[in-house]
Amino acid sequence: MEWHPPCPKCSKSDSVSKNGTRINQFSVKQRYYCRADNTWFTPDDGFSRMRIDPRIILVALDLFYKKISLRGIKQHLLQFYNADVSHVTIRNWAKKYNQSNVAGKYKKVFSEINKPEMELFAVVRKNMRKIESGRW
């Protein structure tokens, strides 16, 4: 007997059968039909409602966990995948797909990764204020 995912409404898997495919922007997804409550569904693969190719998200997360800066990841994605993604979006992906669901651990990792980047940003901001005020 072939394995089928359980229905999201009634949680039964014995009344579920394959029923065609759904074409997504990046892939073809299997659709299922539940005979118990007469509904069609597509199982969630973790990338629902994402407008970027899941492979690009995985590359960004891989670079993030290798401690590459967010703006470095942004430049990498732009150069190699022609994907113009904000560094804030990459941070949100890291928050959403965090390896552990402990928020405190995420904050610790994020602060360690972005410390040099934030120090540089503070210096640039300070110098820009000096230039704007005419004290340079």
State whether 34 and 100 are in the same domain. Answer: no
Element (H, E) at 18: strand 16-23
State whether 8 and 35 are in the same domain. Answer: yes
How many domains in the chain?
A: 2
State whether 66 and 125 are in the same domain. Answer: yes
Taking only the tens of pLDDT, the chain with its 136 residues reads 678 889 889 888 888 999 899 887 777 888 999 999 999 998 877 777 788 888 899 899 989 989 899 999 999 999 999 999 999 999 999 988 886 543 444 444 445 445 566 666 666 677 777 777 776 5
State whether 33 and 63 are in the same domain. Answer: no
- Residues 85/57, Cβ–Cβ less than 8 Å: no
State whether 103 and 78 are in the same domain. Answer: yes
Range(s) of the domain holding residue 82: 54-133
State whether 11 and 77 are in the same domain. Answer: no
